[in-house]
Amino acid sequence: MKLVEKNPSFIEHYYSNGIYPIISSFFRILLGWIPFSIGDLLLFFGLFIFIRFLFRLIKTRFKNFIPKIIHFTAIFSIIYFCFYLFWGLNYYREPLSKNLNYQKQEYTTLQLKKVTAHIIKNLNHYQLEITKNDTLKVENPYSDKEMYNIALSGYDHLSEDFPQLKYQYPSIKSSLMSLLQTYNGTGGYLNPLTGEAHVNSKIPKTSYPTTTCHEIAHQIGFAAENEANFIGFLAANYNDNIYFKYASYRMAFGYCISELRERDKNLSKELWKTINSGISKDFNASYQFWQAYKNPFEPIVKKGYNAYLKANKQDKGLQSYNYVVDLFISYFETSSKI
């Protein structure tokens, strides 16, 4: 893995644009038609085997401890190998900014303010177009499966401008572990061993479109969270469906205003005042939803996931999600008059 880390161009050419598309297409064709998650079932089975292993170890008072640990390590090493072969090597590919020919540079607070104001203008527009009243909260009328199908058209449109982001052979499913994911504070995940994209079916529906598009971005080979966030935004924004467009600007606003708050609290408060009250109600409802599932174990899970991200070339851990802002600024400055 250290050797891989030093050769991103090799991974980009031979794995991310070579072997991986074949592997991922195979798994999506094989499992995509099945209405429930095979990946979730494998996780349940793996957890059962692990608990059974520990129980037997204790029951036998650690008899044959060394052979059993060697056996367990051998199995784990096979899973570790499959993780990187089937998907994980995408963590070590070249940056998305290079892939899309964006100039990645340090941005000023003034640039961030202009882009955030531009996002707010569009967010207000779509909220008002949906509700016809700037005080009403957006209510997404679609079911989970309807949104999975709608998401595909956004990727179809996106691939016309960015062929490298083409998505084929859908395999998007509601997670069987949605309740557990909610308690963990996660909206979705990709199972790297089955290639299935999973969405937490309990999350607020206004953020469902971008979460779905985010997980698809992982499927097509973009492992870094900030990059999956940006591609998820693009796919939702390119969609003709107005609820997807609203969700795209909603997500972009959330990350940009958060970054602006870190730099200038007074400026972020000023911009918050310019959004329609219906949007504020939407964000407040989402906040209340996640607060209702707060628990003592969530920080422990997040620490584990933070360590996982750092171990896979995302030095900022969970903060990696927020690093999408520089991609937003590059995109809006090159494609919009702001």
pLDDT tens for each residue of the chain, 338 residues long: 888 888 999 999 999 999 999 999 999 999 999 999 999 999 999 999 889 888 888 888 888 888 888 988 999 999 999 999 999 999 999 998 888 877 666 889 999 999 999 999 999 999 999 999 999 999 999 999 999 999 999 999 999 999 999 999 999 999 999 999 999 899 999 999 999 999 999 999 999 999 999 999 999 999 999 999 999 999 999 999 999 999 999 999 999 999 999 999 999 999 999 999 999 999 999 999 999 999 888 778 778 877 777 777 666 655 655 678 989 998 998 876 56
* Phi, psi for 134 (deg, rounded to 5): -70, -5
Where does the chain show beta strands of DSSP type E?
172-174, 188-191, 196-199
Give the per-residue pLDDT at 217: 97
CB neighbour class for 19 (10 Å; exposed up to 12, middle 13-18, buried from 19) = middle
Q: Where are the domains of the chain?
A: 96-335
Give the per-residue pLDDT at 111: 92
SS3 309: helix
Q: How many degrees, rounded to 5, is the angle at CA 137 between CA 135 and CA 138?
A: 130
- What tokens appear for 74 in the block? 């051998």
Q: What is the pLDDT of residues 87-110, one digit of tens each?
A: 999 999 999 888 887 766 688 999
Q: What DSSP string runs through 110-136?
A: HHHHHHHHHHHHHHHHHHHHHHSSTTS
- What tokens appear for 248 in the block? 């795209």
87: how many CB neighbours lie within 10 A of its CB? 23
CA–CA dist 50, 44 (Å, integer): 10
Q: What is the pLDDT of residues 204-250, one digit of tens each?
A: 999 999 999 999 999 999 999 999 999 999 999 999 999 999 999 99
Give the per-residue pLDDT at 10: 94
Which residue type does 87 have? W
Give the per-residue pLDDT at 144: 96
Give the per-residue pLDDT at 323: 78
Closest CA to 87 of 219, 281, 177: 219
Residues ≥6 apart with Cβ < 8 Å to 119: 249, 252, 253, 256, 328, 332
Q: Please answer whether residues 160 and 136 qualify as being in contact, where contact means their C-beta atoms are separated by less than 8 angstroms.
A: no
Residue 199 to residues 202, 211, 327, Cα–Cα distance (Å):
9, 7, 24
H helical segments located in 32-167:
38-59, 65-86, 96-99, 109-131, 144-161
Give the per-residue pLDDT at 130: 98
What is the side-by-side strand order in the sheet with 188-191? 172-174, 196-199, 188-191
Give the per-residue pLDDT at 338: 64
